[in-house]
Amino acid sequence: MAQIFKNHKWAIFLALATAIVVAYPQIYSRWDLGDSYQGIGLMGASDDESAWMSRVKEVQDGHPAFSSTYFKDGKSDPYLFQPLGTIIVAYSGQLFSLNINDTILFSRLFFTSLLFLIIYAFLFFFTKEKIISLSIPSVFLLAISIFNRGATLKPYYLLLTRPVNPALTWIFFFGFLLFFWLFIERKQWRWGILSALILGLSFYDFLYTWTFLYAFCGILILIFLCQKKWQDIKRIAVVLLGAILIAIPYFINLYRAAAYPTFGDVGARAGLMGGRELSMGILPPMLLVLFLILFPRKWKERYYFALALVIAPFVVLNQQLITGKALSPSHYHWYYHKPLALIILLIILFSVLSLRKWQFAKKALAIFFIVISISLGIFVQSISYSASKETIVKIQKYGPLMDWFNKNAKKEEVVFSNDAIANLIVTHTSLNVFYHHSAKYSLSATTERLINTFFLYYRLDGVAEAQAKDVFLGDKENISWAIYGIYYRDLFGEYENIPDGVVLDLVRRYQESFAAATPDLFNEMLQKYEVNYLIWDKESNPKWQLDQYPFLKKAAEIGEFIIYER
């Protein structure tokens, strides 16, 4: 073991350095904010940061499937988002008795380091060159933004700053490639068993991982079929079959979920659409051409392994030609196609230098890549933190509010609030909420429920019956996103392109809802969804005037927030 550490000390050093770069904004913010820090750990790392953080909190609260992260009802429903990565992060925090903020910090440090080492190990066994294996993960994890036009100079945190995904997703992906390559190369079943285990577990982590890997393995089987490598085909088939056996509970869950009446609506909101259109993009064809021209053919097995990886995007992007169900091409692009393109192109670059026997240039270039990647990573994290600091400071005002609920409310009780506060309730307490913008992706979120909830907030905001048409047509983007998810965005290009007919039908239904007075409608919905507490943000929602409702009892006042009990 000591010899392994000695031989790969630079990989361990760079893994730790990468993890520190990823996590340092969160570490630095606590020192930088000083007494202003009130325990609100959101960094603005991405639009999905709070979603992943709330799922981790839900698992720590005893709901490992997080079937209904936001609502009190639906906790026993089949899950729609694969939970394994979230479970690993949540339980690792519980292992060390960490709160939610420290759990996320630990995950940024530990799983980033682990991911670096897994990618390093895969490249080390694949290329047989340590310097290449050190530099490529550095570029991939810290400097991939240079391949996004203009993104490096924009305040976007490194992708790994987001909790759970993509760190855990890539651990499964590259972990499989590592063990599977060793299995293909060495023909030892211990690597085959590990490959089957990782592939089987990936069913419980991310849909796009196992679909890509099965496409990759299928292509490799076809290549070996042409070469009449029957034993290799049998070995791969055993791995694929073993993974399927591990995934049986996943398919049972999927079958149960598909039987729910809301499954189709939730799928549409999440972007699962019907269609058989051919999809290609620019990156896969370009990569294939460059690969066929420049990738070293003398590597034989490595060549065909990499060729299967390069061809796989064509399969996953066009599986809808057979299934009739289109998956999001952007998920494949950002999580698999682009990283693999970067890795393969850098391997080609280093192989060209090796072919010309420019060893010094190869080593110098690798060191240059490492230094530039770390520097760029620090720069990106720094400007991102500077850009988000004002928001980070601003949301600390919610800290005392969260403290009050953690001290006074019972686990699993329900809170009514605006969406901004609900976002913090589900990440920093063990409570549920009346509404959250991501709740539409759970099976308990019927379209009727979402519409009625939306109507209630409009009523509290004072939108009169006569104003409805103008207000709704002027708020098409928000209506489209809040009720229908990304359906109309994917269908027509933008959220606001939702058809006027759909909006006008909502206007009609909203106007009909005035058959019930606002207090009666309000009280009915609070009772229906078992709301225990309400929060009135007097600055953000001045028109709510919750003091006027006799069925609410004032429990506390914290700054501009008034807490009510039912």
Q: What is the pLDDT of residue 333?
A: 87
What does pTM read for this prediction?
Answer: 0.94
- Alpha carbon 88 to its chain centroid, in Å, reads 14
**Please, what's the b/e burial string for 132-168 (b: 16 or more CB within 10 A of its CB; e: otherwise)?**
bbbbbbbbbbbbbbeeeeeebeeebbbbbbbbbbbbb
What are the two backbone dihedrals, phi and then psi, of residue 556, each rounded to the nearest 5 degrees? -165, 160
Helix/strand/coil (H/E/C) assignment for every residue in 69-106 = CCCCCCCCCCCCCCCHHHHHHHHHHHHCCCCHHHHHHH
Which of 101, 124, 13 minimizes the C-alpha distance to 370?
Answer: 13
Q: What is the pLDDT of residue 152?
A: 58
CB 167 within 8 A of CB 115: yes
pLDDT in tens, 172-195: 999 999 999 999 999 999 999 999
Q: Give first-to-last CA distance, the chain, whole Å.
A: 61
Helices 189-202 and 207-226: crossing angle, nearest 10°?
140
Residue with tokens 């790392």: 45
Sheet holding 561-565, edge to edge: 432-433, 414-416, 531-537, 561-565, 553-558
Q: What is the pLDDT of residue 10?
A: 95
Cα dihedral 504, 510, 513, 519 in deg (nearest 10): -170
CB 387 within 8 A of CB 507: no
Q: What is the pLDDT of residue 300?
A: 85
Helix (H) or strand (E) holding 326: strand 325-326
Q: Token digits for 150? A: 């203009």
Per the DSSP assignment, residues forming a β-bridge with 414 are 432, 531
pLDDT below 70 — which residues of the chain? 45-47, 148-154
Which of 278, 264, 266, 273 minimizes the C-alpha distance to 491?
Answer: 273
Q: Percentage helix, strand, coil, to 5, in the chain?
A: 70, 5, 25
3-state SS assignment for residue 556: strand
